[in-house]
Structure 1
Amino acid sequence: MPSAAGAGAGAGGASVRDLRGPGVRGPRWLGFAEGDIVVVSGLPGGGKSTLIKRAAAGGGIDSQDVRERWERRMPGALPYAVYRPLVRVAHYWGLWRTLRSGASAVVHDCGTQTWVRGLLAAAARRRGRALHLVLLDTTPEEALSGQAARGRGVSAYAFARHRGAVTRLLRAAESGRLPAGCTSATLLDRTSAAHITRIDFTPHPS
């Protein structure tokens, strides 16, 4: 389960920790038990990859990293749509290997792929561990600015789908309803997310 500095779940039950809003000073680290899985969700450009790269040991499992590796290998004029299927296969292959190993994991999630969270929840159950949601609540303007800063955006249609999915996750978490299989949720805005420097996994008590 998360430590006192983590998502704040009580023993034996699900919980939501809301670290959003003016004057809220969140922790500098989020602590979870060894073998647990943490999924980081939010809008494209909302800061998921930035948080994972800064705070997760080893950089976590991020499809953006896979895409960048493939981009370096491909001719510059080749549209991403051409090799997108290869990127997805490589990403999910890496995810599967990590889950199969039983190692703790921090996973980038776009929010629209509910089957991915189902897969992660099933993997956590098999290993007798927990799945935790870290949800970034950013405005559409902040997310679009983030896309512009990285020089890569998504279509208006795709962005609308992401907004709908993330909004549903937020509203459910705010009312105490977590996605199926999740033990806890931590809600962050840009300020509280920027404050976090570590996502740690500590051994279970023997």
Structure 2
Amino acid sequence: MTTTGTVDAVPAQRGPRVRGGREGAAGAGAGLVRDLRGPKARGPHRLRFDAGDIVVVSGLPGGGKSTLIQRAAAADGAVDSQDTRERWERRMPSALPYAVYRPLVRVAHYRGLWRLLRSGASVVVHDCGTQSWVRGLLAVAARRRGRSLHLLLLDTSPEEALSGQRARGRSVSAYAFARHRGAVGRLLREAEAGRPPAGCASAVLLDRASAAAVTGIDFPA
């Protein structure tokens, strides 16, 4: 069975109604938070949003954000900080620590993001979960174009995320991982209470299995 972002079989958590949005699009009407975790929402799923909307994919480092974006989002409408980092790593001497040129990677990532946003295209953005100011700016950008910002939140355990880091051969410090855990935990608590994070019109909760079952993130005209 293929479902849209509304996932009719999965009841939405309580929350205020949202103005705008097409019926059937994720986050339309009262369906602000959709929980696709566990066996109650088996896939495959196609998540559908309005054309011109912005979707932020958040979760722990190693939790599968880049994998989801690469598999389900159109390449010309996806902005993944991991891709930017890997491009810079190929250009830099292997002995040079990433911390040395990390500021340049971030500048390049955000330049590419804002360039795509100015085009008015639908966008899927990788977000580590700790940068609330980034979501705030994305919400402003969405409002200015008369569209909405949506959150896809990957709920993976610390063990799953650390395993993902080992699999990709790249880890974050214990301090940074603790910050990510705190930030993602706050997002989860808000969503589980039926409240999308500030600036977001909707939130979709995914675990490992349901994220793997997402076959597309679509923005039909």
Matched, 1:111 2:129: yes
Q: Is the 8 A contact 1:51 1:193 kept in 2?
A: yes
CA shift, 1:23, in A, is: 4.6
Aligned to 2:16: none
Structure 1 counterpart of 2:175, one-letter code: Y
Matched position secondary structure for 1:202: coil
Aligned to 1:133: 151
Matched, 1:6 2:5: yes
Deviation track 1:102-148 (CA, whole Å, cap 9, x = no partner) reads 11000000110000000100000000001100000000000000000
Matched, 1:29 2:46: yes
Alignment of 1:16-165 (within 5 A): 16-58=33-75, 60-165=78-183
Q: Structure 1: how far apart are the matches of 2:28 and 2:51?
A: 17
Following TM superposition, the consecutive aligned residue runs of length 4 or more in structure 1 with deviations greater than 3 angstroms are none
Q: Structure 1: how far apart are the matches of 2:146 and 2:66?
A: 27
Q: Structure 1: how far apart are the matches of 2:132 and 2:45?
A: 29
CA shift, 1:177, in A, is: 1.4
CA shift, 1:176, in A, is: 1.0
Q: Is the 8 A contact 1:61 1:106 kept in 2?
A: yes
TM-score (norm 2): 0.87
Matched position secondary structure for 2:156: coil
Q: Is the 8 A contact 2:52 2:123 kept in 1?
A: yes
CA shift, 1:22, in A, is: 3.1
More contact order relative to length (CA 8 Å, sep ≥ 6): 1
TM-score (norm 1): 0.93
Q: Structure 1: how far apart are the matches of 2:31 and 2:109?
A: 29
Structure 2 counterpart of 1:145, one-letter code: S
Alignment size in residue pairs:
199
Structure 2 counterpart of 1:112, one-letter code: T
Q: Percent identity, please.
A: 77
CA shift, 1:78, in A, is: 0.7
Q: Structure 2: how far apart are the matches of 1:77 and 1:140?
A: 29
Name the Cα RMSD after superposition: 1.3
